[in-house]
Every structure is written in structure tokens, then in C-alpha cells.
Amino acid sequence: MEAVTFPDYPGHEYQIVRHPGSAVILPLLNEDEVVVIHNWRAALEREIVELPAGTLEPGEDPVECAKRELTEETGYSAGRMEPLAEMWPSPGICDEKMRLFVARDLTEGRTNFDEGERIRVAVMRFDDVLVAIANGQIQDAKTMVAMLMYDAQRRERS
Ligand SMILES: [Mg+2]
């Protein structure tokens, strides 16, 4: 957290969280199945359904971060990592940019969780994830955006 003032608006001090950026991965086993995680979130004191994601290490390329986080959190390695979208998840307090990717050609392997991560891996039907978003069961913003963006682009192409 950093206190910042701007010369053209000196009367106000902004509280800003500086963030290195992050990568979000939509892992497709095939066109109908998505790998998701049940992730225990300390801030919420509960487990929520999300797509795998993580913070860029210093100097790390976002694609490399996406590949690394996918394997750490789900065990899967991606043969292809395709850019899907970019977003500012919290521009009111934080300069974090999230880069969203679609991962394909997945090979199963071993997870390697970070300290403090409590994650269970699951496979869901793509359409069931959309239903869970539509009815409010899934409320994780990056997961909603990635799924809806992919679905929109898929419709656009067909
Ligand atoms: Mg992680």
C-alpha cells in the first residue's frame, strides 16, 4: 500500500496497491471440459471455485507465469497457451493487470502448491461453469470474465 498525490490534484492522497501483474488460465481438456480449482481463500474464510491464476515473478513473462501457475495449481502442463483478454480487476485501489489465457493440449502431472495454498482440482463441463456463473454460484471475477470472454469469442467465430 502506497500513498500517492498528483500535482494536478494536490488536495487528495490516494492509497494505491502496486502489483506486478498476474496470469489467469482457462484450461480446456477439450471444447466441453474445463479444469477448475476449489481454492480456500483466507480473506473470505471459505473455499470458492476459480480458474487457476497467480502473480508474475520479477521479470517473468506472462505466458511463462501462466504455464507455471497452471502446473503448480492443477498439475496439468499446456502444449498451447493462447492469449484471451487483459483486464484491470481492481482499478480503484490497485494497478494489477490480469492477463487471461486459454490453455490447450493438456498433459496431466503433479501439483506443486505454494505455501499457504489450499487447493482441490476438479473438472467441470464448460456449460455447467456458465450455468454456475449465471446463477451466482461462481462469483470470482477473473473466472467469470475468462469464461464469458471465451464463450463470446467462440460464438463470434461460429
Ligand atoms: Mg499460485
148 CA to middle of ligand 1, Å? 23
Residues with CB under 5 A from ligand 1 (ion): 54, 114
What the chain holds in terms of domains, given with CATH numbers, is: 21-87+98-157 (3.90.79.10)
Nearest to 72 by CA among 29, 25, 110: 110
115 is catalytic: yes
Nearest to 47 by CA among 55, 38, 56, 60: 38
- Condensed to tens digits (0 to 9), the pLDDT of residues 110-142 reads 999 989 999 999 999 999 999 999 999 999 999
- Condensed to tens digits (0 to 9), the pLDDT of residues 43-94 reads 999 999 999 999 999 999 999 999 999 999 999 999 999 999 999 999 999 9
Instruction: Give the global pTM.
Output: 0.94
